């Protein structure tokens, strides 16, 4: 099998969760699926039946060829080439179409695709309405991030912005309270009122929030640490912040 042509118009995603989610939520975006002939198990048969039922082009492929396509052996025998030219979702699209108070996760310069994927998965689990990140100095939504996200890359809008501080101000103008996670903050995450429209801003691995991002936030809050480590992985911290917002909102509606 010849290697599929790559361009800015297409990109690759891999793994059963990521590809299956794309088939469910945006089947028209899946151009073709490269499926390893080495697997004959029930999971593959179910996946194949679903893909064929919606008319997806299936390309039988050797496992080694899939390794070369995505640069990893963790593809589980399935890789999809998808249309990357569909209209990008804008922040205003999300803010203008909510029927509940906004809950947004903002990532300031996360550069590890595994962390981005895990953050998307956490955001999906917490019911966040979008994940926002800068276009520069941050990892893009590549195949590794989509794989780790286990389908969440296709259920949670991932919005990239040219100027993060400007995007935060856009949220504030729309009535969203912007809270930055910072270890030196005096107030804890549990003391922040998270019942209204809210955006949590978390910084990059090791460096935390950039100065301009920090200065743009309405307030800062820290996650209390009771052990010997000084900080948490960004996806774990995101989960704590987002699920605390959900807990507070559930208490109000109870």
Identical fold between 10-83 and 91-253: no
Which tokens is 189 given?
């995450």
Q: Is 10-83 a CATH 2.40.30.10 domain?
A: no
Q: What pLDDT, on a 0 to 100 scale, did the predictor assign at position 1?
A: 45
pLDDT digits 0-9 by tens, 12-44: 888 887 788 788 878 888 999 999 987 788 888
List, as residue ranges, the binding site. Answer: 203, 223, 232
Q: How far, in Å, CA of 33 to CA of 79, rounded?
A: 6
Mean pLDDT, the chain cut into blocks of 10 residues (254 residues total): 57 82 83 87 88 92 90 85 75 84 94 92 92 88 84 82 95 97 94 97 86 97 86 92 96 67
pLDDT digits 0-9 by tens, 119-135: 999 999 999 999 999 98
What's domain 91-253's architecture?
A: 3-Layer(aba) Sandwich (3.40)
Q: What pLDDT, on a 0 to 100 scale, did the predictor assign at position 87?
A: 58
Q: What pLDDT, on a 0 to 100 scale, did the predictor assign at position 254?
A: 57
Going edge to edge, which strands form the sheet with 58-61?
10-14, 78-83, 30-36, 58-61
Alpha helices (H) along the chain: 16-25, 42-53, 63-70, 91-95, 113-125, 143-149, 164-173, 211-216, 234-253
Q: What pLDDT, on a 0 to 100 scale, did the predictor assign at position 242?
A: 98
Q: What pLDDT, on a 0 to 100 scale, did the predictor assign at position 149?
A: 86
Which sequence spans correspond to the domains of the chain? 10-83, 91-253
What are the distances in angstroms from CA 221 to CA 54, 115, 133, 150, 191?
47, 21, 20, 29, 8
List, as residue ranges, the binding site for S-adenosyl-L-methionine. Answer: 203, 223, 232
How many helices (H) and strands (E) would you count in the chain?
9, 10
């Amino acid at each position: 099998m010849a290697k599929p042509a790559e361009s800015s118009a297409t990109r690759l995603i891999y793994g059963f969760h990521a590809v299956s989610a794309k088939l469910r939520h945006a089947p028209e975006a899946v151009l073709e699926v490269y499926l390893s002939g080495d697997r004959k198990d029930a999971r593959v048969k179910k996946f194949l039946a679903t893909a064929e039922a919606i008319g997806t082009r299936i390309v039988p492929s050797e496992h080694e060829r899939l390794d070369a396509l995505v640069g990893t052996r963790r593809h589980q025998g399935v890789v999809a080439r998808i249309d990357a030219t569909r209209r990008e979702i804008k922040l205003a699209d999300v803010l203008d179409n909510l029927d509940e108070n906004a809950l947004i996760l903002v990532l300031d310069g996360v550069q590890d695709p595994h962390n981005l994927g895990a953050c998307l998965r956490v955001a999906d689990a917490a019911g966040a309405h979008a994940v926002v990140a800068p276009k520069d100095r941050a990892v893009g939504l590549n195949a590794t991030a989509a794989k780790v996200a286990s389908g969440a890359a296709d259920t949670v809008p991932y919005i990239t912005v040219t100027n993060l501080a400007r995007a935060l101000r856009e949220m504030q103008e729309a009535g969203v309270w912007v809270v930055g996670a910072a270890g030196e903050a005096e107030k804890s995450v549990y003391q922040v009122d998270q019942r209204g429209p809210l955006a949590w801003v978390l910084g990059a691995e090791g460096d935390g929030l950039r100065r301009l991002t920090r200065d743009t936030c309405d307030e800062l809050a820290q996650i209390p640490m009771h052990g010997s480590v000084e900080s948490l992985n960004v996806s774990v911290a995101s989960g704590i912040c987002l699920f605390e917002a959900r807990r507070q909102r559930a208490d109000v509606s109870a």
